[in-house]
Structure formats: C-alpha cells, structure tokens
Amino acid sequence: MRALSAPSLADTPADLVLLHGRIHTQDAGRSIAQALAVRGNTIIAVGTDESVSPYIGARTRALDLRGRVVLPGIIDAHVHPAESAQDLDKCSLHDESLSPADIKRKVAACLREEPARHAPWFEVVMVNASALTLTRADLDEMSARRPLLLESDDGHTAWANSAALRAAGIDARRRDPVGGRIERDADGRPTGTLRDVAAEIVAAAKPAPSLAFEAGLLDRALRAMRASGITSVQDADTDEHLMRLYKRLYDEHRLDMRVRASFGLKRTDRSAATLIGEAGRFRTRWAIDPEHLRADAIKIFADGVIEHPSQTAALLEPYLDAAGRPTADRGPTYYPQEHLNAIVAAADAAGFTVHVHAIGDRAVRSALDAFAYSRQRNGALDNRDQIAHLELVDPQDFARFHALGVIANFQLLWAERDPYIVAGTLAYIGPERSRYLYPARSLLDAGALIAGGSDWGVSSFDAFEAMEHGVTRCEARGREPLLPEQSLPLQVMLDAYTINAAYALKQERFTGSLESGKRADFIVIDRDIFAIDPFTLHETRVDLTYLDGREVYAAAR
C-alpha cells in the first residue's frame, strides 16, 4: 500500500488521482487506503492523501471522493451475457410462480402488446419451472399456428408448441439427445417439454437475427452490468456465434468489459481427444486479447436441475416422491465416469480451466472424482478448475475441494427459502440431505476457495444482493433463513467477487485488488458496505465504474 518512492514524481504525474476516500484495496492484508493514483490503465500508487498527492500534475484529474467507498471492480465468475442478452426484448414472466392458466393469460397479454411487425416465432422467457407442468394442449392453446417457445429461468427446461416441434423435427421417432430428455406421453408422443440439451434442438430451429442486432443487445446488457459495478465476466458457456458477438463489440471499441469465455462441450459422446482438440482450436481462434477477450476454459454440464418436476440433477440417493417415499430415480447420468475422467484429464493436460456445472451431490462427486483422476495422471497444473452452483454437496466431499485445488464457484443469491427450495426441493430430498443445501460455510471451513457468480440471465447480476444472501441466507428481514449456519462473513463474500474471482479467471496478476502495478478497474459506491445492516446490502448503488483507468459508467446526478 506504500506509494512509489519519489525520485521524479513531478516528471511523471498521474492521469487520475482519487483523494479523501475509503479504499478497500483487497490486497493480502485487506488494507484500507485514502488515495489512489492512475497513469494510463495502471495504478501507480495507493496510500494516504499525503503520499499520493505528489502525483498530481497540471493535467491530472483529481477526484475528491468526500469519504465515499472504493472497491475493486466486481468480477462475475459465472454468467451468460451474450446468450442472455438476446432475451432482453422478449415476453418475460419474471420468474413468478404461476399456474398454467396464469401463464396463458400473461402470454396472451404479451401477444396483444407485440409490435405489428412481429418475429416468425414467439418466445417467452423467465418461466418459473418449479412444480410446473404444461401439456401440449396448453401450449397449442397459446399459439395454434405460429411456433411458440417458452424457456425456464434456470435454462434447463423449454416448452414448445406443435408448430415449434415440427419446425425442429421432434416427433415420436426422435431419440433423446445425449445430455437431454424429450418428455413423452403414454403413447410416446412428445408433450412439448424439453429438458437440458433437448431444448437446444428447438432453439437451433429458430430463424437467426442479424449479428449487428444481437451485438446491440449484448452491448445493452454489458452497459447494465457496468452500472452495477461489473468489470470482468467469465461467460460460462460459449460457442462460435456468441464469440462473434463479443468480437463485434471489441472491433468497434464497445466491449468495455474483460471477458473470459468457457467453450461449451457439445455432442459429448465423442472421444476426449476429439472434444478437447475442438476446444483447443476454439481457444486459438478466439485468443483476441489476453486482458480483454479470450476463451481458455471449457464448460461441462455434469447434470441439470434439482427442482420438481424437472429433477435432472444427479443424486447419490434417489429422489423422494411427494409423500416422502424413495423412488427409483437418482437423476440422469450425462457422463459415464470413465468418459468424464478422460475429458477432464485431457483438458487439464491442455492447460484449460475446467468449469463444471454440478447441482446434485452425485454430479459434484463425479466431478471431484474426475479432477482426482486428472491430478493422479497429470499432477497439479494450476489450471484453476472449478465446480459451479453446488446446490447439494455430500459432507464427505467438503475437504476434497481444498485437497484437489478445486474452486467452489457459488451463486449464493439462491441461498434463500424461495419456491424453488420450499416447493420444488425440500420434500423431494428429505430433511437429512436438506442440511447441505448451498453449503458455503462448510466448504470455506474445509479450506475451499470461494468464488462468486450470478448465472445471469437465470437471476440478477447484482453482486451486492448476492452478498446479502450469502451473509443472511435470507430474502429479507423477518423471513426464515435457509440454513443460517452456512452463512459467510461479508469479507469472504467481497473476496468471492474480487480477488478470488480474479484468481478463478487467471487474471489475479492484474485485477481483483487495488495495488500498484495492477489495472485501474474500480468502482465508487454510495455507502460503506461494512458499516451497514447486511439486510440493506441490496440497496447499494454504484456511482462510478472505471475500467483500465477510464470511466465506463457514471450514475445520473
């Protein structure tokens, strides 16, 4: 935190100096400073007002913080900006718990309000899938001739009417894809409900809008993220098309975000050598800028979601029925263990970060087993492998995260007693397993490194709201918390969205903390988050966001 020694400060003034602030540096000692100096895109001094003031020259912009708080830029370690931005203008059901009749009424209202020149397909997003069953008749009633596609807010279920199923070539003869399921009636006829990879079949049948249009939507999404203080993202599932959207903004000097992309493995029944060879070519093709746009991670979906009626999360013990009796269903197995072992080992050997989606305890264990196989075969390679979501983890696996160097990538906005937990989960896994839902404190105490992400568009990308839930395990004051013993201290939550997330993205050398020599990615907020009631963290507002020493967001005054 010491300012640079003073041989020639007068000859090398800063471009920007912040004074009279409370700067949470997030350095190794979690020091708090008053002032900070920036030259170009780099921090050149952090310290007291007195030690930093000599950097002020004739052309230096001096910003008096007047006691306001500065934090490193927020790093979202699991988010889907390019894909989710495409939903911005679609009919949204806002994750409300709705009956089929309610959904029909809301979709009808959206159709009435649609512009006269409407798209060939009608799409509905943010549908709450918990305890929801829609029949093909329900779907056809909403739209008889025009293709209709409803997408769940968790990204793991879609509902397609008959016209959309026909367009996608889904009928009774169509087999389930690897990693997905086409729900069928007693006669084998598709009901219109599509789980996981099966939903991608219908999505691929939609007419594609122009690249410029889609890049414009991504630009809107990234602007909103900067307004919430986000300066770096790890896009958790990308492909060629989505990377073209980022590249379009990069080429037009509109990206204003550090983007680390994860290549989503598809057609995963192919050999490990084939899959990782494909990922390697993707990485080479999209190595655009080591600090702003790269694709050196891979994404693996080890399972789906746990909520009833989807229940595509992989469990060690069977799901229960509504009466609490064990069923024969433990959820699908998307990867035989030997195949997952081979993929993870090949990816690690090739230098990729392996980013695994795992909701159920069997999926988490399977991923850890694959990482253990890779370590045995390749040794420790410092690839920053991580498991995201971690809704249900068996206690026997807590210590393995630290032992294997696997980052726990949590989305703790979800750590509350919402309908997904109360109506869709608790009764179907029972009280014993329910003690280990989003077990963040247990993993922290076992030595795991905790990183934070939002999973937007599944849920809000507001990191301060997620920090609130991570601390309180509750939606609001007065509500019953979800396993309060799993609460994390606020400092740990801030670490998760700054220095730990930077480590997960392999960019801790230049982001994640405010120290001399690092890039000037920082935010100015309207309150000291360490001096307020944690139930008001969600009220935190960002006044300024800086990336590379440039102001990329300023709140209206």
Question: What is the pLDDT, as a whole number, of residue 114?
Answer: 87
State how far the alpha carbon of 146 is from the alpha carbons of 151, 162, 172, 191, 206, in Å.
16, 9, 21, 17, 12
- What are 306-357's pLDDT values in tens digits? 999 999 999 999 999 999 999 999 999 999 999 999 999 999 999 999 999 9
Q: Which of 451, 338, 462, 446 is nearest to 400 (CA)?
A: 446
**Is 28 in contact with 1 (CB distance < 8 Å)?**
no
**Is 237 in contact with 80 (CB distance < 8 Å)?**
yes
CATH hierarchy code of domain 120-203: 3.10.310.70
Structure tokens at 291: 């600090």
Question: What is the pLDDT, as a whole number, of residue 116?
Answer: 66
**Is 135 in contact with 192 (CB distance < 8 Å)?**
yes
Question: What is the pLDDT, as a whole number, of residue 5?
Answer: 40
Q: Are strands 91-92 and 122-127 parallel, antiparallel or unpaired?
A: parallel
Question: What is the pLDDT, as a whole number, of residue 85?
Answer: 97
- The average pLDDT across 276-301 equals 98
Structure tokens at 153: 């807010």
Q: Please, which residues have CB within 8 angstroms of residue 207's CB and are 6 or more apart in sequence?
A: 119, 120, 121
Q: Is the pLDDT of residue 15 over 50?
A: yes
Question: What is the pLDDT, as a whole number, of residue 371?
Answer: 98
- What are 417-439's pLDDT values in tens digits? 998 999 999 999 999 999 999 99
- What are 52-79's pLDDT values in tens digits? 999 999 999 999 999 999 999 999 999 9
Q: Is the pLDDT of residue 368 over 50?
A: yes
Question: What is the pLDDT, as a whole number, of residue 424?
Answer: 94
- The average pLDDT across 26-45 equals 98
Q: Where are the beta strands (DSSP E) in 464-536?
A: 522-525
- The average pLDDT across 391-405 equals 98
Question: What is the pLDDT, as a whole number, of residue 10?
Answer: 47
- The average pLDDT across 401-408 equals 98
- The average pLDDT across 462-487 equals 97
Q: Is the pLDDT of residue 1 over 60?
A: no
- The average pLDDT across 432-451 equals 98
Q: Which helix (H) or strand (E) holds 375?
A: helix 361-378
What's the whole-number average pLDDT of the chain?
95
Q: How confident is the model at residue 3 (pLDDT cuts 50, 70, 90)?
A: very low
Radius of gyration of the chain (CA): 24
Task: Give me the amino acid identity at 381.
Answer: L
CATH number for domain 9-72+521-527+536-554, candidates 3.40.50.720, 3.80.30.20, 3.30.70.141, 2.30.40.10: 2.30.40.10
Question: What is the pLDDT, as a whole number, of residue 2?
Answer: 46
Q: Is the pLDDT of residue 97 over 60?
A: yes
Q: Which helix (H) or strand (E) holds 50?
A: helix 49-52
Domain borders along the chain are 9-72+521-527+536-554, 120-203
Q: How confident is the model at residue 117 (pLDDT cuts 50, 70, 90)?
A: low
Question: What is the pLDDT, as a whole number, of residue 131?
Answer: 83
d(C-alpha 342, C-alpha 126), whole Å: 35
The 3-class SS string of 156-223 reads CEEEECHHHHHHHCCCCCCCCCCCEEEEECCCCCEEEEEEEHHHHHHHCCCCCCCHHHHHHHHHHHHH
Q: Which of 234, 231, 154 is nearest to 199 (CA)?
A: 154
